[in-house]
Structure 1
């Protein structure tokens, strides 16, 4: 799709997300660790009582594990917040050194990054329990690299309703040797196997949640095949899984298609 178009898309995300921060932010940068990026944000619609919240939608942003910030993705919560479903955005460290507010954030390895997101979900679980919200529906979603992280942690006990991996990356084997993405990841052979959700699917049981996979019709073949392969493996292990191609959208436009259209498959499933 080209870097210019990708930048244009992500710039539009930032503008739309600022509106959500200005109108719905309840608590920002709640820490789950000691690192600068080890935080999450909680959004709530002030039209509703906090005690009457109808659920929580946890979202993990993408960026090929090497870039992006949670602050650019609050826009995914607009329609959900209108339905009195709170949004939680998770931040995490990256496999490339970054500078944030003039401070250097060192890179972390992929294993550390994955474990960090697990700690974030642990902290969200404790946070909800502390705020007497642990019995409410909790959904987990992620886009691109965030789709990978959502799939890795699909069985985390804080999630009790459904998991939504969007344009996710579920098999690291074809990604590891690539120059633009794989070089920075520095994956070893064990990580390629152990951190690929497609390799780590247990047989479904009574506690297994439904998974709803989405990818764009205009995405690269490899990205489509990642979801198709993962969906097939989930079905082999008797998981409840739905996979949909969203026609006419690319890797970024799919977020608008799923979260701006109140009649989208994702929003309709949550509304039910």
Structure 2
């Protein structure tokens, strides 16, 4: 296998200003629209979990003390397939309380939702954040049944930074002893980042503090993976240029088990909110992944 040139990444010829434009989706949206989107995350999440059966605030990772919420699991026995949603916010913002907007329609379709928090940067390195979200998947496998979750039917998804974290759970080699190689049966990253080397040259690195070798090691597109779980790689029609390019490239990289879904009339922030709408194409695609698990 040839030695990888870590500095040879798509877009490296762009200026810092051009890279910033490709990845600064908050600036592209504008502060007013961005604030409206963030308010909708919390409003839709609050409405989704109101009087929904659940188990909020469970510590899933003892070293960090981070917690997760379980929503929509059956109360009378049995175990449901589970969608684990990893929130975005460029690894430094948002929380599980902003990120349960899909819980009610999934519950109505027989699927439980798990929403973990993770320590936000710069309070944790990106390596530690990845470790934590993988620990949340391990928690579902080890403890999920007592909360009505079926560990043999786990689908992981997330938006933006959560899309990157989703892809990091899709890889081989991280599973702890006792965890199956196919702990994640299917995945749906939204507007994800799969080669994060470009971020070493944009404002995001103010809180990530990455160099190129660390960024390469944390880039799921560069990681070897023998097993390729089914995936829908979703991105908004009006997303940032960097996110559109990366989603297209990762879908090609993942191969025949991946479908690229470019969602029309959506931007970086509202595309994932389609998961709150059971009639939307992204929601139907998610259900298809869940129901396709053998």
Change in Cα spacing, 1:160 to 1:108, as seen in structure 2 (3 Å) is closer
**RMSD of equivalent CA atoms:** 2.2
Change in Cα spacing, 1:3 to 1:211, as seen in structure 2 (3 Å) is same
Cα drift, residue 12 of structure 1: 1.3
SS in 1 for 2:268: coil
Match of 1:255 in 2: 272
Change in Cα spacing, 1:132 to 1:65, as seen in structure 2 (3 Å) is closer
Match of 2:211 in 1: 188
Match of 2:128 in 1: 112
Cα drift, residue 175 of structure 1: 1.3
SS in 1 for 2:244: helix
Unaligned runs of 5+ in 1: 97-106
Q: Which deviations, in whole Å up to 9, do the C-alpha atoms of 1:227-256 show, x marking residues without a partner?
A: 011112212xxx511001001100111022
Match of 2:6 in 1: none
Cα drift, residue 21 of structure 1: 2.8
Change in Cα spacing, 1:112 to 1:135, as seen in structure 2 (3 Å) is closer
Find the aligned partners of 1:175 and 1:74 in 2 and give their Cα distance: 28
Match of 1:103 in 2: none
Match of 2:87 in 1: 61
Q: Does 1:230 align with 2:250?
A: yes
1:140 to 139, 143, 156: 156
Change in Cα spacing, 1:213 to 1:266, as seen in structure 2 (3 Å) is farther
Does the 8 Å contact 1:60/1:141 carry over to 2?
Answer: yes
Match of 2:263 in 1: 246
Higher RCO, 1 vs 2 (CA within 8 Å, ≥6 residues apart):
2
Find the aligned partners of 1:261 and 1:85 in 2 and give their Cα distance: 12
Does the 8 Å contact 2:89/2:161 carry over to 1?
Answer: yes
Q: Which deviations, in whole Å up to 9, do the C-alpha atoms of 1:94-139 show, x marking residues without a partner?
A: 113xxxxxxxxxx111111111112222122111245574455211
Does the 8 Å contact 1:139/1:160 carry over to 2?
Answer: yes
Cα drift, residue 267 of structure 1: 2.4
Cα drift, residue 153 of structure 1: 0.7
1:83 to 109, 116, 125: 109
Does the 8 Å contact 1:201/1:234 carry over to 2?
Answer: no
Find the aligned partners of 1:218 and 1:37 in 2 and give their Cα distance: 37
Cα drift, residue 81 of structure 1: 0.9
TM-score (norm 2): 0.79
Change in Cα spacing, 1:117 to 1:135, as seen in structure 2 (3 Å) is closer
